[in-house]
Structures are given as C-alpha cells and as structure tokens.
Structure 1
C-alpha cells in the first residue's frame, strides 16, 4: 500500500488559530505548508530535519518559492538543502551510579534483590546530555537544551520528559543517586525560567502543552533524601512560578447545585491545531469529529498534556462516534472490538489524494477540554500542601499559610464536585453535562493520597474497589488503566502502567485504612511480579526487558498493546516505580516476598502441574493434622521444591508450630 502522494496540487492548511508552538521555528517544525507537505509525501521522519542549515527566515523564503503543483522529488531536494540529521543527545556517564547501592543490600528477599539489582543496572544505559553544538548554537535546533546530564525514559523517548522524570527520580533515589536527581531538578528549573512552566518534553513541538505537574514533588523527595536547605531555598521560587502558571492558565470556576463556586483545574492545552508528530491522523479526526475541528485538536493536545494519550477517559460515553457505536463512511467501517486495518482515502476537491493504513479509533468524540479530572486536582492540592510544608521547614510561615489555604479551598472543591456519594468514590466531572463520569480509573482513589479524606470515605472506597468497580482488582498482573474494552487505546484495558499503578498503590497505602493497605500491598506485589517475570523470567520468545506498559491479564511480563507507536522497552518510569514499591513494602522485610507465591504460568502444562502440587499440599496438611508424628520439615521441603509456593510452605510451618 502506498503511504504517500507524488504531487500536491496546492498548499492545504488546516483551519486553526492557535499553533502548536510559537516563535521563529513555528512554521517550520510545528504547522504550516512544510509540515503538511512532509506528511503528504511520507517524509515526516526526516523533514524537517534535526538541524537547520539556514536561518528560519531563509528556510521560509525557500519554502515559499516552491512551485505548485509540487513534486515529491522537488520537496526532497528542498529538505536536503535546508536540513541535516544531527543527534541532539550523547551518552552521559552518571557519576553517582554504583553497582551495589545501600538500599539494594537491605532487600532480604533474593528474587526481589535480583530484580532491584537489574533495574539499578539499567540506569547507566539511560544517561544522556546535550551535544556541545546544541548548547553552543541552540537557535538552529528545535529543542531546549538543559545544562546537566539526565535520565531518559528509553526506547523511542530519547529526550527529557516531564512527568516520566518524577518516577525516574524515585528510582534514582532508591539507587542513592542524589547528584543525578539534583542535576535533573536544576534542568527543570532552567526550563521554568525559560517557559514559565515545564512543557511535555524538550522538543519545541511539545512546548505549548505541559504534563501532570510534579516538579514540587520532585523537589520534596530530593529534600527529604538530602536535607539540603540551600538548594531548597534556591528552587522554591520556581515552585511558585509553576504553580502560578497552572492557576493562571489551567484553572476553571465550577458551580455546584448549591450555588457554591470553586476554582479547580483541568488539562487544557493552548494549541488547537493538528499535532506535527501525528499530523494526518489528527487532521482526519478533526475533520470527521464532533464538536468542531479546533475543539477536537485542542482536546487531543490536552489528552497528551494529561499524560494519558490516549484513553476512553477523554472520550464521549454515548452519542455520535462514541466507542460503543458502529458507523460507516465511504469504504471505511468500524465496529467495537475491530482492529482490522482499512485503506483510507482522503479527498479535498482538486488538491490531493492520500492513501494510508488507518485503524479507526474513537478520537472523533474526544472531549478532554470539557472534563474536570480527579488526578490533576489531587496533584494541585498535593503541591499546595507540599509547598506549605517546604516553606514551613525554612521558617517562612506566611508563604506556608498561603499555600495551606489554597490547598484547603481546592480540597473543598474536590469533595463538593468530584465525590459521588452513591458510588462511594471520586469521579471525573463532565463540565458540559454537569454530571460524573462513572467509570473505573485508578485516579478514582487518588484523593486518598492527600491524607485529608475522612475514615468513613476510606471505608466506602474499600467497598467500591472490592464490590462495585467492575472487577478492577481481579487481574493477575496488576491494576488496569480502565475497564473499557472497546477503545483499544493504550491507556485502556488490558494495559497497566507503572505511574498509575504507583499512584494507586500510594493512595491506598497512605489512607490509614487496613483493608486498603492490604489492597495496596497485593497490587504492588502483582505488578512487581509482572515486571520481574518480564525482565528476569520472560516467557515465549519475548526478550528480557522492562517495558513501558504491561498486559495485566497475565503476570508473565508480556508488554502492553495499542498506542500510536510500538511498545517501548527501557523503561525509566517502570524502573523507578518498581524500585520505590520495593522500598515501601519490602526493605528489611525478613519474610519472603508474597508477590512470588505463584509463578507457574509459563510452562505449557503449568496449570496441570499447579493443580497436582496444590492437591499434594492439601493432602500433606490433612495427613499432618491426622498424624502428629509426620516429619514436618521433610514435607515442607518437598512442597517447596515441587511448587515454589511460599504460601503452601507457610501453611505447613503453621501446622508445625501447632505441634
């Protein structure tokens, strides 16, 4: 199938008013005739290139001199004359990396220790820094260079990314790499000084959208690990700047039925044009979607800002183009659950015809800009509370009181607007329909992270998770990103991700509710086991790897599915989240890690063997109870060797103690 055209009859530009980026490089790298032609000709991976060979004005002048109808070969010649490939980054040595950090020695369970050791070893392969030429001549590159080495997510993602770095730093602190963490915080401070906030990543194409605001938490984690008050005092003004930016640019006033008004937050990217990284698909979604093209394009960018790009969480639950309906257009048909590739022909009068493989999706109904999300509002209360604590530690009581008041007011909004009394949990809120979006997402429980919810609400959340969530706790590999089986987006079922899993676990762990703590422990155990199997004990022909996402229907470590790019290995935030969960639950723990109770799902006859072993274990226990003269330790050893089941050996040990 041909993926490009050979001739463009005339320039075709989307009708949008807020570009993806601003400044002299905007019409080169973010929108306009150049981006459109590159995608239409199938040259988007190489043009515009990494480095400009002319000034921005000279490139635009050369572009405007191209004659239409424009041939593909002529455009390729223009690209080669004005751009060149150049790697922005080079491998960096992380000077504080060690093979055997202190926390590693504190992990008693041998399997957990081997996992932590492997994850710690990955850091040295993910260190990057900007090439000297990028620092010396930043005006010819579409990136914002930062001064210090940093850790990238890995795979396709060879750049600093905002919210990925929060979990990366969690893992680096486990590995006692405080110098690298400080370097990364200083880098983000540089970014805030330049932009006034932290964009999605260092590429100019992502510079008008942010990601979940976690800079305050990065600084707090570093301060807790080092006690460095000098560095804290230097960085707190940048915390002020970022939080002020979110208040000025992402807040919305919400009114309740009781006529109360609350200032709350939503993801709402500034741009309303197609993304240059997926231009043609965005263009098509905007032209066919509901709500107008600019609204669709802005909501797509806002979904990227949320970090969950993409999820049914941002789509219409009903109506035209919702994921549960079937629709047809031209030669294209779509029914829920269908993943067949369809040849799509785009026409625009006499301009051009484009053919490409297209998997129909539900972004036609995306409405991120109409949704008030639980997680973002929780992050902002968390940031306000944390900023209050940090200022208090430096003796600045006036600043501390200011942020505490802001946290109190926003928490009142969360309770009034997002809490659903009937369901006993918090839900996202549809601003247009003025009602809750009552589906399961891990973020439904994130308000527990703040330690502000009353014990009665924690009890309600416990009931919701166990009996009303639709089975969210039932999967062997961890917690699903959603239970939506229709959309096939990467932040939907059956995928589980490290950041949402970690926040889910931390929310329940900090709830002061024993039942929720048990769910947190079980969820952490499941996910850590899944990562262990994928990295150390992979099944089938899959490579041993730490993945960006996992299929949580299984605990054998198989990677997740879906998305706009192939699944990536590395992977920064998975490394960090797992190391932090090991730190929270299993440091200095004399008992074996319960997460490895059952690991027999790889072999072809594993289930049969497991049933035989379980039957044998039950028979042994029965014999023990009937005959106290049975030699307990020999039986226990036999069960352990046959099943590797900690739980079975624990039961037998209890019988031994009874004797």
Structure 2
C-alpha cells in the first residue's frame, strides 16, 4: 500500500530508479475497485518509460500516458476509456489535453461520457458447421464420457463471437483489430480472440468435426499477421505489442492433418514464414555458455517498457519498488505476459531481496525452454510443409534451422544430473532449477534415446509431481500466490505435458501420460458434471490439482474464469486420444491406476470369461450325462471314475 501511495503522491523524473522527487498538493480520498487510496490530480502525471504499450493514434488514449494515469487515479479504469470513441482519436486526445488542473473527478467523468461509449463490439456468432452430436461423440462408448463431451460441444455455441457491423465500418473508433470471420472467445472476462488459446480451441473444434470454423479462425490469424507482421497476444490494442507462444504453425498442421487441404496450406505458407521471420528478427539472442560455445536462441522479450494499462497501479508499484530499473521491471512484466504464463515464480529471482515475488521479476534475463522447443517444432513442421508443396530449397533452410536449434536446446537446457531441461539464466550463467511442465517439453521433438527418457522418468518419479489427484501442478512453489504456481494446474500446460510424454515413445512415460490425461479429464468432468457442493457446474480456466473434484484454481490478478476455451479443447483432444482410440470407462471417484485397462481390454477379458463359462457348462452337462450311463454301478466312486474317464476321452 505504501508503494501505491508513493506512486500517486509523487512525480516521476529521469533517474536510475525513477526516484520520487516532488510532493503533490493535498490529496483526496477515493475508492478504487480493490483498495482505498489517496488521489490527487493537481498536475498531469505519467511514468517515465520510453517504449509505449502500443503504437499509433490510440496509444496515448488506451495504452500509455496521462489519460491512463488519470483514469486509474480516479478509480474509473473499468469504464474509461470506453469500448468505442465518439470522436476521432486526435480530437479525443486534444480535448483531454485541454482539461484544466487541478482536475476534479466530476470534470474527468464528463470528459469520459462525452468522448467514449461502452457498447459491445461483439455479437453472438452462428457456427455453420456445428452439430449436436458429431461423429467423435457418437463413437464414445462410455455413457458418462459421452454426456460430458456433449456438454463441451454445446459450449462452442456459447463462446462463438463475431464483430458487429459498425466495427467494420469505422474501425478507427475501436481499440481492436477486427477480423472477418467468427471465432471462439476464451470466456468470462476474456471477450476477444486470443493467440495461443486458439491452439487448444482449434483442437477441440476438430474433435467436434468443425473444420470449417477452424479454417475461418486460421484465416483470421493470417489476416492479423498481414496487418502486424506477427500475431499479438490478442485482438485488443492494449496487447498489440507483445505476442504469445508461437503455435500458429501447429494450428495449421492440426488442420492439414485432419483435412488434407493443400489449397489452404498453400495460402497459409506466406504468413507462417512471415511469423518465423518476425520471431527471428525481434526475439533472438546469442547465448554464450561458460564453456565458450555460442548458440542462437529465442526469448520472450516484449517491446514495451511501460506499465500495463490493464493493471496500471500495481505495475507502477512493482516498477518503483522492485529490484531492477523500472523500465526493466515493466518490460519483464510484459514479457511474462507474452509467454502466456502471467505470472509465475518461474520468472522471478529465486534468491536475494524480494525473491519469489513480482518485485524481482526478470523475464528478460531468462531463456525459456518452451519457446525454443516451439520454434524448433515449427521449423521441422515448416520443412515438411514446404516439401509437400515441392519447395525443397526452402525445406532445407528450415531443416538447418531445426537442426541447429534442436542442438542448442539440448546443449543449453539439459541437466545430466537432474534428468530434465531447465530455463537458462543469462545473468547467473546457469540453469534455473525447479519443476515446471516445460522441463519435459523437448520430448515433443521426439527421437531421444532410452538413456535420456529413463533419466526423465526418474526425474518425474522423484519430483512428486505425479502424486496429485487432479493432474500436475504448474510448479511446486507452495509459498507463491501467483496463479501459474502451485496448487494450480492449467489445461494448456497439462496437455503439452501429456503430449510430450506420449511422443517420447518410452513405454513407461507413455503410461504416465495416459494416467495424467485421465486425472485431468476426471477433474474437468467433475467440475462440469459433478461439482463440489456450493460450486457452480463449469469448465474452468484452471483447477486446484490437490483435488479431483473439479474445484477451480485461485490466485493472480483477476477472479478465476469459466468458459473456458482452451479447457474445452484440451479435454476434448485428450478424450479423442484416450477415450476413443482406447475406449475407457470414466469414474468420478475411483483412483486412476496405471494398470487400469481400456474398455477394449475389458471387453476382451469379459469375452474370455464368457467363453470359459460356456466351456465349463458344456463339460458339466457332458459329465452329468456320462454319469447317468453308469447309474447301474452301485459304487458311487466307480460311477465318478468311469464318467471322468469317458469325459477325458471326449475332451
């Protein structure tokens, strides 16, 4: 709280730590959504940062600068600036600049009302290829699993959106980048298209046999690349200078594997190549190991270094009171958001002042395992795509990129002593220990020896991450209050964890993948179909994996959300892999056992039992008949002996 008051009371000037130097006039006491804070608006304020959150005419209205600072000071950030401007961006900014100080709340409220409107720029969309019972649901044999899949399939209609006509007519008045086709929103407060969410959403749509909708989403993302040169975090302008884990190529791969549509593949290739060029130009660095070896690798490193408008005061506080220069802290916060893992102790200092807290965030000092795996994965996939299209030279270029990065992943991240891959700390020049699901993501690249997979197996068994009822945690840091830490389990990372082990081809790791998949499916099932008393039935964005009753996770900067796009998709994809390919009976209470048989296995055992029972009945009948043949023998023992002898001869 002291940090927040410092932020509000003082004016920030240039200096090594953004030192507070000038006391403002007597403040007024007002309430924000979360805290009672002292505010004063006697002079216009803005933090000292050099790279704004977004660019263009909307930057000083929606992203950075005095207007954002003022709306947070008055506790009006939920409604101002609004979802649409009533006037041109230039005029709105001019009218704000002309406001006189000291600025009263009523005066600022009048400005907001006259210049902004809070209307929805989205409407419910009709999904042309949605069906009540797609083929994959019909193929499910387990009744409970089938009902659950039907529920998830229904949610696609609930989460389908498209932009209203006015957005397409006057896009300059809206803080968004509109796309032409319908799309699926995550749900809850996330009412726009998001980048990496779409990877799992598309998997779920493909389960639901909705390849037309998937194609339209891919076309939307291609248009975003055409506009920006890359795919931002989401479609709102506030998130337009940071990206997300680059999974666009894998989305196209999933679609192509399902449909074999070479025409769309050819249409997508320029935009897939363009995205790789953007990451190569803007997110690469040279990693020099203590041994002297150098590798070209990738890093989440957002371009902006200002406080985020969606959480402005907290970011200001973290920047002014953190362990690094404010611009470094603010940039590292944006980079963590770019990673999709916002926030986790994975990005914080593990020792020293403010260790394991956001005050010590240092994402920009960390080279992450997962991003480099995704890029190598993309290079291998793109090499295959170009080969399919007859472009051998381009395919060879991507193969070379893949080979070099694959080598770097193993040379930089692999710990022989631990048996896992860990993020690399540029400042300390060493690996950052601690469990995160990304520790096994290199297995997505396949081709590892039995020696390596045995070490990974030992690492997982020794870590304790497989011991939870509801799935796997995103970390084992039990002191953290961040949402991407213990005890939360997140569907996207759980899905990637399962896929990593499944693609390892190691028999024991593959079995663990199946076990984790069913734990997660059961947790999500209970949350939707059999919720804990007092909890709504919902598909949650995250779960508390200490339990398998489907209770949602907690922590972070906002309340837990339901919907939820990537959860629906991850669950449906795992149901396809483990509930259709290997029919399985789902239970809401029974513990998962590695020895549990699939339904196909159970059917075989039942068939054997029936055949054995029939055989026994036939033998018993013959025995009785033979026994009657020797009824003239008075000695009962001799009757039995003769009957058995005859039966043995017939057998």
Aligned length: 574
Which moved further from structure 2: 476-485 or 393-402? Answer: 393-402
- Cα distance in 2 between the residues matched to 1:56 and 1:411: 46
Aligned to 2:145: 112
Q: Which residue of 2 aligns with 1:581?
A: 574
1:482-497 equivalences under 5 Å are 482-497=475-490
Offset of 1:116 from its aligned partner? 1.0
Local SS of the residue matching 2:175: coil
- Distance in 1 separating the partners of 2:214 and 2:53: 30
Answer yes or no: is 1:162 the counterpart of 2:195. yes
Matched, 1:373 2:365: no
Q: 1:151 and 2:180 equivalent? A: no
8 Å Cα contact 1:447/1:453 also seen in 2: no
Matched, 1:554 2:583: no
Aligned-pair distance for 1:655? 9.8
Report the Cα distance in structure 1 between the residues aligned to 2:38 and 2:608, rounded to whole angstroms. 72
Distance 1:36 1:590, change over 3 A: closer
The residue aligned with 2:419 is 424
**Residues 38, 224 of structure 1: alpha-carbon distance in 2 compared, 3 angstrom cutoff:** same
**1:452 maps to which residue?**
447
Which residue pairs with 2:342 in the alignment? 309
Q: 1:476 aligns with which of 463, 469, 490?
A: 469
Per-residue CA distance 1:25-64 (angstroms, 9 max, x = gap): 1000001110000000000011111111111221111111
| TM-score for both structures, normalised by structure 1 | 0.84
Do residues 412 (structure 1) and 407 (structure 2) align?
A: yes
Structure (1 or 2) with the larger CA radius of gyration:
2
**In 2 relative to 1, CA 655–230 (structure 1 residues): closer, same or farther, beyond 3 Å?**
closer
Cα distance in 2, alignment partners of residues 445 and 232 from structure 1:
30
1:578 deviation in Å? 0.5
Contiguous gaps of at least 5 residues in structure 2? 1-29, 593-598, 617-651
- Pairs within 5 Å for 1:585-604: 585-593=578-586, 596=588, 598=590
Task: Determine the C-alpha separation between the residues in 1 that align with 2:495 and 2:313.
Answer: 34
1:542 maps to which of 535, 538, 562: 535
Q: How does 1:258-297 map onto structure 2 within 5 Å? A: 258-297=291-330
Shift of 1:24: 0.8
Tell me if structure 2 keeps the 8 A contact 1:5–1:41. Answer: no
Point out where structure 1 has 5 or more consecutive residues left out of the alignment: 324-361, 601-644
Q: Give the structure, 1 or 2, with the largest relative contact order (CA under 8 Å, sep 6 or more).
A: 1
The separation in 2 between residues aligned to 1:589 and 1:512, in whole angstroms, is: 17
C-alpha distance after superposition, 1:418-471 (max 9, x if no partner): 00111011001101100111100000000001113222111110010001x2x1
* Higher mean C-alpha displacement, 61-70 vs 410-419: 61-70
Deviation at 1:496, TM superposition (A): 0.2
Equivalent residues in 2 for 1:25-424 (5 A)?
25-323=58-356, 362-424=357-419
Cα displacement string for residues 454-505 of structure 1 (whole angstroms, at most 9, x for unaligned residues)? 22111110010001x2x11110000000000112100000000100000000
Give the alignment's Cα RMSD to 1 decimal. Answer: 2.1
1:588: how far off? Answer: 4.6
Q: Tell me the SS of whatever aligns to 1:485.
A: coil
Residue in structure 2 matching 1:23, options 47, 51, 56: 56
Q: Distance in 2 between matches of 1:373 and 1:546?
A: 29
Counterpart for residue 435 of structure 1: 430
Q: Distance in 2 between matches of 1:274 and 1:190?
A: 28
How far apart are the structure 2 equivalents of 1:158 and 1:5?
32
Could you tell me which residue of structure 1 aligns to residue 17 of structure 2? none
Q: Given the superposition, is the C-alpha separation of residues 95 and 464 from structure 1 closer, same or farther in structure 2, using an over 3 Å criterion?
A: same
1:650 Cα offset (Å):
12
Distance in 1 (alpha carbons) for counterparts of 2:507 and 2:254: 25
Query: 1:596, CA displacement in angstroms?
Result: 4.8
User: What's the counterpart of residue 613 of structure 1?
Assistant: none
The CA distance in 1 between the partners of 2:507 and 2:259, in whole Å, is 31
Task: Report if aligned partners of 2:31, 2:75 keep a CA contact under 8 Å in 1.
Answer: no
Distance 1:60 1:122 in 2: 40
Q: Would you say the 8 A contact 2:578–2:584 is kept in 1? A: no
Instruction: State the 1:648 CA deviation.
Output: 13
Structure 1 counterpart of 2:558: 565
Contact 1:256 1:417 in 2 (8 A): yes
Provide the rounded CA distance (Å) in 2 between the counterparts of 1:190 and 1:94: 20
Q: 1:545 to 1:646 in 2, by over 3 A?
A: farther
Alpha-carbon separation, structure 2, partners of 1:274 and 1:145: 25
Distance 1:584 1:450 in 2: 19
Q: Give 3-state SS (helix, strand or coil) of 1:8's partner.
A: coil
1:388-430 alpha-carbon deviations (Å, 9 max, x no partner): 1111111211111111110000011011100011101100110
- Aligned partner of 1:2 in structure 2 is 31
Q: Which moved more, 1:311-320 or 1:106-115?
A: 106-115
| Structure 1 pair 457–226 and aligned structure 2 pair: CA distance change class (3 A) | same
- Judged with a 3 Å threshold, the aligned counterparts in structure 2 of structure 1 residues 375 and 6 are, in CA distance, closer, same or farther, namely closer
- Distance in 2 (CA, whole Å) between partners of 1:367 and 1:184 is 34
Indicate conservation of the 8 Å contact 2:471/2:520, yes or no. Answer: yes
Tell me how far apart the structure 2 counterparts of residues 559 and 650 of structure 1 sit (CA, whole Å).
38
Cα shift at 1:217: 0.4
**Could you tell me how far 1:295 is from its partner in structure 2?**
0.4
Is the 2:69–2:312 Cα contact (8 Å) retained in structure 1? yes
